[in-house]
Amino acid sequence: MKITDIKSFVVELTPGAEGDHRYTSLGITEVFTDEGITGYGFRRTPDDVLNSQIRPGLIGKDPRNITEILSSGALKGCATVENALWDISGKAAGVPIRHLLGSSAERFPYYLTCVWPGNPDQSHLSVDEQAAQIAKYYALGHTRIKFRGWRPDPMDDVRVVEKVRELVGGRDKIELMIDRTAHLPGWIWTYEQAKSVALGLQELDATWLEEPFARDDLDSYKRLADEVDIPITGGEFGTEISIFRDYITKGAVDIIQPDTFISGGIWPTRQVGSLAEAFGVPCILHGTNGPDLAASLQVAPVIPSCRMMEVALIFPPLTPEEMYAPLQRILKSDGLYSFNQGTVLLPTAPGLGVEIDEAALAKCAIVG
């Protein structure tokens, strides 16, 4: 089997409007082969990278030779294409990718990461409003929730957890996590602020505190991880195995969180999982959403310590199904994913498991 061409574009699924947080458009990368099997990745690959790096490095190669292609450097920074190669490999074998990697799991636990439209720091919402919306997701069967910790008063995020506990109950009913996202809010917590938040969350039996410091401040990560009992997590930005090695060997985090796209794809993510396993550190993947979540759902079941998968981002009050509704235009299946009481039904179709109706896709307007 040989790769004959690679294309990438963005299609419009339905006319979008300001404030519409559904999948009204979708980035797609297609890898074509001489045996008629097409592999899909669900983000756009930039034209300059596609023309100068990807096409010259891959056309004429066997798409199933993934580790060799990765070693050549042709896919550096292009997880979308790597995903498409795995999609081809699974389709050629007639099985989901996870079967090739060593898992026959049918369902997998997940958690939702919610970010409310409006002020990025979420300050437009009261503690009660945010907690009430989380409780509504719980009532719909979503039993694990993570939310953004960017509020001007960091302890307000602890108060949200406290209020949810009042509305819903203990950890045996709902797991709650806070994501500070390192430096992205535009300002960094002091060590004292981070420790106060961590201890407050610990008292409320929260599951973890994510990226409380700048991503290169491993000393502060380690100090906090040593001084509190609540797990401290991070690593989503890692692009090289050496970055994950440093986090793990320096004891900076209690849980390492590679992102399937940022880390380079399905195979590099599996390598991080193996590295973490060697050092006894849990590896719980950082997530995405929509069709490109399919890649993470294929590798997560193969990592023994990955006990749940992130579904991010969800924009309240939308449910995942409401966000995915426009995708139905190009899907053969009835819906993208099925969520039920804290688990997602893993796709059973070969490859990534997202079955594209190619005739319907051809009728979509290309917008980029």
What is the b/e burial string over 88-101, where b = at least 16 CB atoms within 10 angstroms of the residue's CB? bbbbbeebbbbbbb
Write the pLDDT tens digit of every residue in 229-275: 999 999 999 999 999 999 999 999 999 999 999 999 999 999 999 99
Tell me whether the CATH fold assigned to 3-95+355-366 matches the one assigned to 101-345.
Answer: no
Separation of alpha carbons 11 and 367, rounded Å: 6
Give mean pLDDT, residues 34-63. Answer: 97
Q: How far apart are CA 15 and CA 185, in angstroms?
A: 31
> pLDDT band at 16, cuts 50/70/90?
confident
- Tell me the longest C-alpha to C-alpha distance in the chain: 60
Q: Does the 101-345 domain belong in CATH 3.20.20.120?
A: yes
Residue 314 pLDDT: 98
Q: Do 313 and 286 meet the contact criterion of CB atoms below 8 Å apart?
A: no
- Mean pLDDT over all residues of the chain? 97
pLDDT at residue 225, rounded to an integer: 98
Q: What gap in Å lies between CA 24 and CA 364, rounded to an integer?
A: 11
Q: Is the dihedral of CA 258, 264, 266, 267 positive or negative?
A: negative
Residues near 230 by beta carbon (within 8 Å), at least 6 away in sequence: 198, 199, 201, 202, 206, 208, 209
Alpha helices in 73-146 (DSSP H): 79-93, 97-101, 127-139
Which pLDDT score is estimated for 243?
98
- Is the pLDDT confidence value at 77 over 90? no
Residues of the chain above pLDDT 70, percent: 100
Q: Which of 256, 249, 199 is nearest to 224 (CA)?
A: 199
pLDDT at 177: 98
Phi, psi of 300 (to 5 degrees): -55, -45
Question: Could you give the CA distance from residue 144 to residue 18 in angstroms, rounded to a whole number?
Answer: 29
| The predicted structure's pLDDT at residue 144 | 98
pLDDT of residue 237: 97
- Note the pLDDT tens digit of each residue in 156-211: 999 999 999 999 988 899 999 999 999 999 999 999 999 999 999 999 999 999 99
Q: What is the pLDDT of residues 275-331, one digit of tens each?
A: 999 999 999 999 999 999 999 999 999 999 999 999 999 999 999 999 999 999 999
Residue 368 has pLDDT above 80, yes or no: no
Find residue 146's DSSP bridge partners: 113, 177
pLDDT at 251: 98
The phi, psi pair for 32, rounded to 5°, reads: -100, 150
Q: Tell me whether strands 25-33 and 208-210 are parallel, antiparallel or unpaired.
A: unpaired
Instruction: Tell me: pLDDT of 12 over 80.
Output: yes
Q: If DSSP codes are grouped into helix, strand and coil, which group holds residue 87? A: helix
Parallel, antiparallel, or unpaired: how do β-strands 144-148 and 107-114 relate? parallel
Domain 3-95+355-366 falls in which CATH fold? Enolase-like; domain 1 (3.30.390)
Q: How far apart are CA 267 and CA 258, in angstroms?
A: 12
Report the pLDDT value the prediction gives residue 170, as an integer from 0 to 100. Answer: 85
Residue ranges of domains in the chain: 3-95+355-366, 101-345
Residue carrying structure tokens 């008292």: 203
What's the rounded mean pLDDT across residues 133-148? Answer: 98
Tokens of 234: 């991070």
How far CA 300 is from CA of 150, 294, 337, 351, 359, in Å, comes to 28, 10, 16, 15, 31
Cβ atoms of 13 and 26 closer than 8 Å = yes
In the block, tokens 């798409």 appear at 63
Type of residue at 177: M
Q: How does residue 8 score in pLDDT terms, banded at 50, 70 and 90? A: very high
